[in-house]
């Protein structure tokens, strides 16, 4: 058991369906084994003060028994300015128990408490808050864990704290996307508690096997040679790791994920997992899983072990770069009623289904108490706000209004504070359901738009990053009309080339909305006659730059862009604000150049696909230190 995980870890993972060969290989590089345990899936996140606080987390995973309880194990984090460390922080061990009824292929009627009908998962996550750090400093760290008379270590990793807000002048870059998930079917062949039909990816159609071998994004999980052996998710994680600031060559300082994190709950309807006797109770609904028992309301495929595979997949980047998460409809892990699960699981996951995230992830706790995924932080001259669109969505109403208005009130106060702060130049909000999009599958959400758009217009939010729609779309800056809950272009922001990017002045032009739900899920279609895939790549279509801004909608025919309404109807609209559209896997990098008060500060958005090619660019320009109503 001494030494690296090696073949033992790979055999365990592959033999029990915990992930692909790539995941097994990542785990094999995680560190040494102690008492059968290893810490994998490391991920960082900022505390309330990114200058002085960093959360370091991972999963304490047993290579021999998937439900092994780490009795008597101690875990800590060693950290310091170099690999000799010098400081030690104790790690908190958080347990997450999940008892999920599953359909095991035996039509025995309503589910019972027998092990053949329940997937039992007992997962353990380790978290350490590194506090009183020095702003703008690079730290080395590693987990150390003691078990069974042995000592294990993770490899050395590094992170950099945020600079001092009032003295920062160094250019920096951060990245963002949404709707990531993992590729493949970790549930296939799963023998946990005799539940062979637990197939979250297959039954929800979120694999990548529909691509043809001639497609540049074709992924064959059985392949051992590039590029077909590289999933879009792994490719984007790799591309984020290669991003560098154009001025000082520093790596991305943090990554924003705008909801739908790993799809452990593939239904995405924001209601109880099994949903007895209610609507949408027909999952999984494909030919691979037998029909559910009569009157059960249907089965779902919630699989907590998808998180194990997911955290291992992002670890090459998240072990050294803080990942900051918002929540989407697939992140609602909600259980209720005796048929769904037992009181223990309900207690862990909570009344709105976010309790599992509290065990796995570390999000700043400076938002409204009712909304654990709503928070803000400041990095240099950029303020970032995470919004929970599940609270606002008319399209998917399972959690509509759960904050009882506290999120909207907090958001108004927070935006007002940032816009009055001369140290904050740019405000970036990220959330899941789209306020403005022309995608066919979800288009725009009227509830999200009616709450966020007027606040963003009032406080001149520079950029709104959205997920939910599995493609890339950038609007022109939008002038919002509250009377009609609609928007129009306030300026044309056409990107001709990297050297001739679109330029937006948010102080005059308003908010730009970008959809970047393009991190790995199957691609959606457009809601009208628009250009084919990949033609917006710079240099390919320079004779007709941009995609054009007008996309027609027809209420009578039910075609074109639409806005979801509270009564579950859709209002179709003709829009003139859809500037750049790209239907493939992509993320955005944002390069920020701070400036002294009175100087010009910029934030440049670069849209990059999974092959590393840039296809859209826009520069947001402001006068530094010019808080609302003030002058430098």
Which residues of the chain carry a pLDDT beneath 50? Answer: 1-26, 28, 104-116, 184-210, 275-298, 530-535, 538-542, 630-632
Residue 603 φ then ψ, to 5°: -135, 115
Q: What is the pTM of this model?
A: 0.88
For residue 535, with 0-12 CB atoms within 10 Å meaning exposed, 13-18 middle and 19 or more buried, which class applies?
middle
Other CB atoms within 10 Å distance of the CB of residue 364 = 20
Cross-strand bridge partners of residue 487: 480
- SS3 call for 235: helix
CATH of the domain spanning 6-160: 2.60.40.380
pLDDT digits (tens, 9 = 90+) for 226-267: 776 677 788 899 999 999 999 999 999 999 999 999 888 877
DSSP single-letter state for residue 329: G
Q: Assess contact for 615 and 607: CB atoms under 8 A.
A: yes
What is the four-CA torsion angle of 261, 262, 268, 271, rounded to 10 degrees? Answer: -90
CB burial of 41-64 (b: ≥16 within 10 Å; e: otherwise) equals bbbbbbbebbbbbbbbbbbbbbbe
Cross-strand bridge partners of residue 272: none
Give 599-602's long-range contacts (Cβ < 8 A, gap of 24+).
599/623, 599/624, 600/624, 601/381, 601/425, 601/426
Task: Report domain 172-529+539-623's class.
Answer: alpha beta
Other CB atoms within 10 Å distance of the CB of residue 369 = 10
Other CB atoms within 10 Å distance of the CB of residue 595 = 16
Q: Parse the chain into domains and list their residue ranges.
A: 6-160, 172-529+539-623
What local confidence, expressed as pLDDT, does residue 340 receive?
A: 66
Pairing of the two strands 444-445 and 562-564: parallel
């Amino acid at each position: 058991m001494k030494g690296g995980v090696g073949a033992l870890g790979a055999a365990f993972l592959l033999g029990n369906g915990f992930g692909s060969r790539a995941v097994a290989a990542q785990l094999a590089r995680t560190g040494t084994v102690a008492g059968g345990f290893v810490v994998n899936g490391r991920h960082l996140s900022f505390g309330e003060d990114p200058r002085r606080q960093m959360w370091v987390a991972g999963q304490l995973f047993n290579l021999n028994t998937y439900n092994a309880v780490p009795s008597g194990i101690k875990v800590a984090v060693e950290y310091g300015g170099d690999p000799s460390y010098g400081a030690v922080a104790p790690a908190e061990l958080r347990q997450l128990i999940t008892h999920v009824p599953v359909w095991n292929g035996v039509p025995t009627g309503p589910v019972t408490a027998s092990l053949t009908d329940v997937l039992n998962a007992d997962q353990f996550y380790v978290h350490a808050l590194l506090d009183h750090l020095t702003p703008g400093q690079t730290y080395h760290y590693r987990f150390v864990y003691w078990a069974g008379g042995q000592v294990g270590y993770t490899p050395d990793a590094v992170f950099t704290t945020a600079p001092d807000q009032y003295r920062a002048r160094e250019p920096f870059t951060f990245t963002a996307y949404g709707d990531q998930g993992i590729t493949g079917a970790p549930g296939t062949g799963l023998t946990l508690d005799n539940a062979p039909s637990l197939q979250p990816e297959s039954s929800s159609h979120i694999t990548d096997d529909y691509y043809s071998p001639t497609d540049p994004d074709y992924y064959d999980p059985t392949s051992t040679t590039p590029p077909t052996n590289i999933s879009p998710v792994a490719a984007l994680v790799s591309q984020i790791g290669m991003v560098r600031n154009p001025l000082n060559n520093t790596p991305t300082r943090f990554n924003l994920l705008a909801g739908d994190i790993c799809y452990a709950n593939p239904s995405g309807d924001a209601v109880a997992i099994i949903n007895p006797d209610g609507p949408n109770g027909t999952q999984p609904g494909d030919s691979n899983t037998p029909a559910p028992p009569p009157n059960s309301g249907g089965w779902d495929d919630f699989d907590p072990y998808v998180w194990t595979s997911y955290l291992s997949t992002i670890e090459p980047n998240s072990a050294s770069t803080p990942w900051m998460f918002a929540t989407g409809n697939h992140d609602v892990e909600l259980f209720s009623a005796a048929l769904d699960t037992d009181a223990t699981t309900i207690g862990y996951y909570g009344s709105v289904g976010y309790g599992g995230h509290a065990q796995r992830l570390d999000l700043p706790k400076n938002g409204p108490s009712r909304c654990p995924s709503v928070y803000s932080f400041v990095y240099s001259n950029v303020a970032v706000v995470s919004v929970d669109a599940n609270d606002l969505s008319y399209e998917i109403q399972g959690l509509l209004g759960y904050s009882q208005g506290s999120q909207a009130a907090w958001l108004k106060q927070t935006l007002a504070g940032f816009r009055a702060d001369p140290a904050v130049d740019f405000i970036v909000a990220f959330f899941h359901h789209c306020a403005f999009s022309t995608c066919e599958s979800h288009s725009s959400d009227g509830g999200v738009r009616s709450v966020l758009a007027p606040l963003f217009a009032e406080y001149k939010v520079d950029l709104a990053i959205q997920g939910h729609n599995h493609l890339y779309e950038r609007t022109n800056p939008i002038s919002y009309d509250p009377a009609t809950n609609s928007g129009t272009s306030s300026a044309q922001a056409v990107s001709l080339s990297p050297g001739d990017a679109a330029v937006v002045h948010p102080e005059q032009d308003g908010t730009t909305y970008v959809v970047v739900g393009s991190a790995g899920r199957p691609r959606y279609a457009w809601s009208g006659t628009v250009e084919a895939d990949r033609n917006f790549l710079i240099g390919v279509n320079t004779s007709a730059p941009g995609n054009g801004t007008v996309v027609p909608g027809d209420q009578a025919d039910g075609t074109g862009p639409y806005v979801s309404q509270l009564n579950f109807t859709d209002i179709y609209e003709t829009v003139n604000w859809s500037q750049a559209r790209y239907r493939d896997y992509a993320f955005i990098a944002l390069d920020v150049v701070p400036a002294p008060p009175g100087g010009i500060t910029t934030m440049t958005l670069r849209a990059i696909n999974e092959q590393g090619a840039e296809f859209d660019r826009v520069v947001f320009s402001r006068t530094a230190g010019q808080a609302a109503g003030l002058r430098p």
